[in-house]
């Protein structure tokens, strides 16, 4: 472990220690909060940060040893995340509909073509009704052809759909769209499609796109259909138009990638920890955020700590009405 790596781990651990202290302050009665400095003085917080740093350094060492490309679990990810989501508005024809959600593979960034092949095979074994690829497919444009060649093996009776992530948008956007469409994957850019079973799937450009999304997207949507919106960045839920969809699917945040006690110190969101992972409700809207399959970062930072890699299989069910 290099000295630079140790310093970065120490800074991350210090941020987590500060977060723990803040959480303790939040749950304390108001009249006790002024004495927090007595209960957890600076030297105690420093010891916590030191202990966390040791844990993180150990995790880094274990990560380097236990996650070689050929030794990864068969699905190509740490887990297959199966969730059931309930909706009052779901038509009877879609009750039990299953969506496979794959995001953030980052092929080429400590994620091999062989591992992607195992991931594709695992998705197919789940026998979803459709597959949605939610962006950040590659490290850079050199990997889009190998990605498309493996993704060509995906199969679902209602089709395969994709939206672009920030990496795809800024690293050969045109080449990415062309490669995916050439293997039968429908790329949705401010557009929508209705599946044979009547599910409307809409897709937005990446949230960092320079063009506003909602106005164009609204013009493509058909009325009267249950609508799933794919948007790589879940922050769209705060700044987009929630009335346009019944369910939004996202990735981007990698589950925090490096987390401890539910806190991710380097989460790439303008809304704190809210969209780190899993199901989030914003009013009547439901947003599901997957941890994704691969890694962000460079060098030794390409690892996960308490943020398992995954693809998700989401079962849509109609709520029981009294």
What pLDDT score was predicted for residue 67? 43
- Please tell me the pTM assigned to this model: 0.80
What pLDDT score was predicted for residue 106? 95
Single out the residue in 37, 66, 95 at which a domain terminates. 66
What pLDDT score was predicted for residue 252? 93
Residue 42 sits in the same domain as residue 189: no
| Residue ranges making up the domain that contains 270 | 70-318
- Give every residue of the chain whose pLDDT is below 50, as ranges: 1, 5, 24, 27-28, 33-34, 36, 59-69, 322
Distance CA 278, CA 280 (A): 7
Q: What is the pLDDT of residues 224-276, one digit of tens each?
A: 999 999 999 999 998 888 888 999 999 999 988 888 888 888 788 889 999 99
* Rounded-to-10 torsion of CA 140, 145, 147, 149: 180
Residue 234 sits in the same domain as residue 288: yes
- Position of tokens 């699917």? 249
Domain total in the chain: 2
Length of the chain: 322
Single out the residue in 42, 66, 90 at which a domain terminates. 66
Distance CA 87, CA 281 (A): 12
Residue 91 sits in the same domain as residue 227: yes
Residue 147 sits in the same domain as residue 235: yes
Residue 189 sits in the same domain as residue 236: yes
Distance CA 170, CA 168 (A): 6
Residue 168 sits in the same domain as residue 239: yes
Residue 237 sits in the same domain as residue 143: yes
Which spans in the chain are helix H?
3-27, 36-39, 42-66, 113-125, 144-151, 166-170, 173-182, 214-220, 236-239
Residue 137 sits in the same domain as residue 187: yes
């Amino acid at each position: 472990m290099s000295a630079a790596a140790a310093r970065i781990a120490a800074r991350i651990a210090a941020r987590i220690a500060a977060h723990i202290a803040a959480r303790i302050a939040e749950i304390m009665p108001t009249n006790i909060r002024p004495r927090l400095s007595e209960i957890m003085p600076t030297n105690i917080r420093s010891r916590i940060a030191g202990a966390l740093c040791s844990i993180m350094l150990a995790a880094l060492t274990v990560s380097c040893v236990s996650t070689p490309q050929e030794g990864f679990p068969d699905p190509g990810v740490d887990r297959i995340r199966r969730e059931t989501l309930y909706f009052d508005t779901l038509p009877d024809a879609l009750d039990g509909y299953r969506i496979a959600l794959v995001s953030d593979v980052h092929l080429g960034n400590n994620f091999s073509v062989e591992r992607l092949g195992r991931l594709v095979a695992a998705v197919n074994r789940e026998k979803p009704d459709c597959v949605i690829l939610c962006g950040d497919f590659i490290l850079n444009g050199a990997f889009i052809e190998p990605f498309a060649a493996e993704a060509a093996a995906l199969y679902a009776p209602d089709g395969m759909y994709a939206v672009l992530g920030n990496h795809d948008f800024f690293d050969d956007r045109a080449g990415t769209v062309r490669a995916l469409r050439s293997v039968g994957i429908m790329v949705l850019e401010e557009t929508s499609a209705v599946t044979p079973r009547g599910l409307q799937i809409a897709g937005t450009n990446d949230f960092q796109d320079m063009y506003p999304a909602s106005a164009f997207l609204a013009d493509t949507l058909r009325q009267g259909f249950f609508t799933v919106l794919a948007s790589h960045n879940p922050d769209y839920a705060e700044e987009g138009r929630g009335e346009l969809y019944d369910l939004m699917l996202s990735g981007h945040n990698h589950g925090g990638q490096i987390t401890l006690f539910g806190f991710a110190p380097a989460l790439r969101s303008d809304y704190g920890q809210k969209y780190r992972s899993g199901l989030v409700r914003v009013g009547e809207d439901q947003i599901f955020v997957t941890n994704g399959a691969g890694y962000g970062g460079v060098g030794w930072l390409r690892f996960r700590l308490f943020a398992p890699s995954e693809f998700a299989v989401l079962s849509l069910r109609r709520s029981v009405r009294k």
